[in-house]
Amino acid sequence: MTLDEKAWQAARTRIDAAARAAGRDPSTVRLVAVSKTRSADDVRAAHAMGQREFAENYVQEAQAKRAALAGLAGVRWRLIGPLQSNKAAVAAEVFDAVESVDRAKIAERLSAARAADRPPLEVLVQVNISGEATKSGVDPGGAVALARLVAALPRLRLAGFMGIAEPTRDPDRQRAQFAILRACLERARAEGLDVATLSMGMSDDMESAIAEGATELRLGTALFGPRPVKTPA
Ligand SMILES: *Cc1c(COP(=O)(O)O)cnc(C)c1O
């Protein structure tokens, strides 16, 4: 299967327009391709178009894809799905970045398992910005404390925060939730933490996220088309 290059161009056009509307330089918004459920061939095709950052939700799926694509230069794998502590050691090996760190135990296990001959694992603290009980992420009130803990761990490099807005079409609600994540970044900076990444915005809410300062978008369907209904375990 070949990728629809027009979809990628359309996504880039949306990002550029939203950035300009917000008075921002489009190059300050990094595009991460969410490749969960997509084949290794899809990733290869995206790589041929210049894409380097890919995100996955499941440790095992990413492990298999990474192995299948070992020869592909410059690819970076990011974990964006919930992480169980018994998978943390494998995750520390498979990924270049973990965006879903939401408790101390996970951070500690990732740091303990990260190999000494690799760069420190990039970490984002996931914050529950929608307030939905079913969603993962630390409460906004605990986000900076967890970030401080991550920053102090030897084999992790704290980069910033990640959040997922509730699935609503209401741009005001989207923006209000993304503003919570931005406030976490600002508080962390005020405390002297070296953080710059705001990973927020998906295919259906990227404009709101960019308006609230997103520096990273995680796009799946906007790039690859609709996902199959069932996701592999
Ligand atoms: C699946 C997923 C995405 C991508 O969602 P799309 O709506 O397909 O763009 C982004 N972030 C997370 C955490 C996801 O699980």
Q: What is the band of 232 on the pLDDT scale with cuts at 50, 70, 90?
A: low
Taking only the tens place, the pLDDT of each residue in 91-117 is 999 999 999 999 999 999 999 999 999
- Using a 10 angstrom Cβ sphere, with 0-12 exposed, 13-18 middle and 19 or more buried, the burial of residue 115 is exposed
In a domain, 230, yes or no: no
Tell me, using a 6 A CB cutoff, whether residue 203 lines ligand 1: yes
In a domain, 35, yes or no: yes
Query: If you average pLDDT over residues 40-50, what whole number do you get?
Result: 96
Residue 24 has pLDDT above 90, yes or no: yes
Query: If you average pLDDT over residues 116-141, what whole number do you get?
Result: 96
DSSP state, residue 75: -
Range of the domain at 195: 5-224
Residue 153 has pLDDT above 60, yes or no: yes
Q: Whole-angstrom Cα distance, residue 139 to residue 221?
A: 28
Tell me, using a 6 A CB cutoff, whether residue 219 lines ligand 1: yes
Q: Whole-angstrom Cα distance, residue 89 to residue 93?
A: 7
How many structural domains compose the chain?
A: 1
In a domain, 231, yes or no: no
- Angle at the Cα of 213 from the Cα atoms of 211 and 216, rounded to 5 degrees: 110
Q: How far is the CA of 202 from the centre of ligand 1 (A)?
A: 6
Tell me, using a 6 A CB cutoff, whether residue 33 lines ligand 1: no
In a domain, 66, yes or no: yes
Looking at residue 181, which CATH number applies to its domain?
A: 3.20.20.10
Other CB atoms within a 10 A radius of the CB of residue 139 amount to: 12
Residue 133 confidence (pLDDT): 87
CA atoms within 13 A on the CB side of 108: 3
User: What ligand 1 atom has the least distance to the C-alpha of 36?
Assistant: 1
What are the phi and psi torsion angles at 161 (to 5°)?
Answer: -135, 150
Taking only the tens place, the pLDDT of each residue in 189-199 is 999 999 999 99
Query: If you average pLDDT over residues 208-224, what whole number do you get?
Result: 98
Taking only the tens place, the pLDDT of each residue in 163-190 is 999 999 999 999 999 999 999 999 999 9
Tell me, using a 6 A CB cutoff, whether residue 162 lines ligand 1: no
Nearest to 123 by CA among 179, 174, 168, 188: 188
Nearest to 93 by CA among 155, 40, 137: 155
In a domain, 210, yes or no: yes
Residue 129 has pLDDT above 80, yes or no: yes
Tell me, using a 6 A CB cutoff, whether residue 163 lines ligand 1: no
Which residue's alpha carbon is nearest to atom 13 within ligand 1? Answer: 80
3-class state of residue 213 by DSSP: coil
% of residues, the chain, pLDDT over 70: 97
In a domain, 229, yes or no: no
Residue 2 has pLDDT above 80, yes or no: no
Residue 233 has pLDDT above 90, yes or no: no
Residue 134 confidence (pLDDT): 87
Residue 20 has pLDDT above 90, yes or no: yes
Treating both helix axes as pointing N-terminal to C-terminal, what angle do 59-68 and 40-48 enclose, rounded to 10 degrees? Answer: 60
DSSP state, residue 219: E
In contact, 143 and 184? CB cutoff 8 Å: yes
Q: How far is the CA of 174 from the centre of ligand 1 (A)?
A: 15
In a domain, 232, yes or no: no
Q: Whole-angstrom Cα distance, residue 160 to residue 151?
A: 10
The shares of helix, strand and coil residues in the chain, as percent rounded to the nearest 5, are: 45, 20, 40
Q: What is the band of 63 on the pLDDT scale with cuts at 50, 70, 90?
A: very high
In a domain, 233, yes or no: no
Tell me, using a 6 A CB cutoff, whether residue 202 lines ligand 1: yes
Residue 3 confidence (pLDDT): 83
Q: Whole-angstrom Cα distance, residue 106 to residue 30?
A: 26
Q: How far is the CA of 207 from the centre of ligand 1 (A)?
A: 15
Which residue's alpha carbon is nearest to atom 7 within ligand 1? Answer: 203
